[in-house]
């Protein structure tokens, strides 16, 4: 391990930061999961899933693999079948055959009709709803628990809504509005925004803008990009960042590490994530991993405002490692 750390320092000194950063992440996982555990298999499956084209990422599988952070032996096929069953019920309301017979929506069926049928099944019959009384419960972020408890936060309910609609044949985009994730669908009249946290309430863009103004007390400049669809990776990043903050509130640091591992898989250029993971490793006295992560942070952000503080941590970590050798 000492030889590997020497090589990392050598490559970092030459400025080969991204190659080393990817290597660091692979090394970190090898150290974190030395055995072939359920946690390691879930991590590898998530890594394989997000490799390649963004649109090809299966959000159902990705969300369930994130849930494996808390439930490593999760039966993913069981919960996937529940989404299939919900989609079949919506198709029944629309008098549509199973997707094996007709995977695409007939052109005469308007998207608003599908949305109303979706809302009927999900919000009236099944009573999925936003969890307003226990918002920061990590269960709200796990698709398996959403399907069991029928309560969650906006982004996880949005994934459920998007994935059921995909099985019907209707494309729904995720929209990352400030403070409140929503979904959007194109109709004959234009775009319709759906607030899944509020029982599938339908809004137009102007109503979304007015809501943002109210939430910010009118002191906000509306950004056009807020209304652009997020990619699958962006959606998963936001979902994981929410979960990370929830775990931090309860000081569940080993869970925070698992979330950070996946965030860095999705985007290894997230400098702050390397810093945060390094800080958590330091808190847990994982000195070698803390050193690697904090060095990666400074390589990605050489002019960081907290550079001197991080250099102080690095000096202290080296002293600790020296004392243990």
Confidence of residue 178 (pLDDT cuts 50, 70, 90): confident
Q: In whole numbers, what is the pLDDT of the chain averaged over residues?
A: 90
Helix H or strand E segment including 202: strand 201-203
Return the ∠ at Cα 245 (arms to 46 and 315), rounded to 5°: 90
For the stretch 299-317, pLDDT in tens is 999 999 999 999 999 999 9
Residue 24 scores a pLDDT above 70: no
Query: How do beta strands 151-152 and 129-130 pair?
Result: parallel
Strand intervals (E) in 196-310: 201-203
Q: Cα(173)–Cα(111) distance, rounded to whole angstroms?
A: 13
Residue 231 in tokens: 């990619």
For the stretch 41-72, pLDDT in tens is 999 999 999 998 999 999 999 999 999 999 99
Average pLDDT in the 189-213 region? 94
Residue 105 scores a pLDDT above 70: yes
Contacts 24+ apart (CB under 8 A), 4-9: 5/288, 5/291, 5/292, 8/292, 8/295, 9/295
Q: Cα(182)–Cα(227) distance, rounded to whole angstroms?
A: 10
DSSP state of 180: E
Confidence of residue 168 (pLDDT cuts 50, 70, 90): very high
Give me the residue spans of the domains in the chain.
1-32+270-325, 53-255
Q: Cα(37)–Cα(293) distance, rounded to whole angstroms?
A: 23
- Range in 18-22, 67-71, 124-128, 147-151 the model is least confident about: 18-22
Give the Cβ contact number of residue 144 at 10 Å: 20
- Range in 13-22, 64-73, 114-123, 151-160 the model is least confident about: 13-22
Residue 9 scores a pLDDT above 80: no
- Pick 1-32+270-325's CATH classification: 2.120.10, 2.20.28, 1.25.40, 3.40.1350: 1.25.40
Average pLDDT in the 131-151 region? 95
Q: Cα(175)–Cα(224) distance, rounded to whole angstroms?
A: 12
Confidence of residue 34 (pLDDT cuts 50, 70, 90): low
């Amino acid at each position: 391990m000492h030889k590997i750390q020497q090589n990392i320092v050598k490559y970092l000194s030459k400025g080969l930061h991204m190659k080393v950063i990817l290597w660091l992440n692979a090394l970190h996982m090898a150290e974190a999961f030395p055995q072939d555990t359920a946690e390691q298999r879930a991590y590898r499956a998530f890594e394989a899933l997000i490799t390649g084209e963004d649109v090809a990422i299966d959000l159902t599988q990705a969300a369930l693999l994130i849930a494996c952070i808390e439930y490593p032996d999760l039966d993913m096929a069981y919960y996937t079948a529940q989404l299939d069953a919900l989609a079949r019920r919506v198709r029944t309301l629309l008098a549509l055959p199973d997707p094996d017979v007709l995977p695409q929506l007939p052109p005469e069926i308007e998207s608003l009709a599908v949305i109303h049928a979706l809302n009927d099944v999900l919000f009236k019959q099944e009573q999925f709803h936003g969890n307003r009384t226990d918002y920061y419960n990590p269960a709200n972020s796990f698709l398996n628990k959403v399907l069991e408890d029928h309560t969650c936060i906006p982004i996880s309910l949005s994934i459920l809504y998007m994935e059921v609609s995909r099985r019907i044949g209707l494309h729904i985009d995720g929209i990352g509005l400030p403070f409140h994730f929503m979904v959007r669908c194109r109709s004959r009249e234009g775009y319709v925004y759906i607030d899944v946290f509020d029982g599938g309430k339908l809004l137009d863009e102007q109503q979304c803008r007015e809501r943002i103004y109210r939430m910010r007390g009118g002191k906000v400049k509306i950004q056009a990009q807020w209304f652009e669809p997020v990619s699958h990776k962006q959606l998963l990043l936001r979902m994981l960042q929410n979960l990370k903050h929830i775990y931090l509130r309860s000081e569940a640091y080993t869970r925070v590490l698992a979330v950070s591992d996946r965030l860095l898989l999705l985007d290894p250029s997230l400098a702050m994530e390397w810093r945060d993971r390094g800080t958590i490793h330091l808190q847990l006295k994982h000195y070698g991993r803390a050193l690697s992560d904090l060095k990666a942070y400074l390589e990605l952000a050489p002019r960081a405002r907290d550079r001197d503080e991080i250099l102080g941590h690095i000096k202290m970590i080296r002293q600790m490692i020296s004392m243990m050798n």
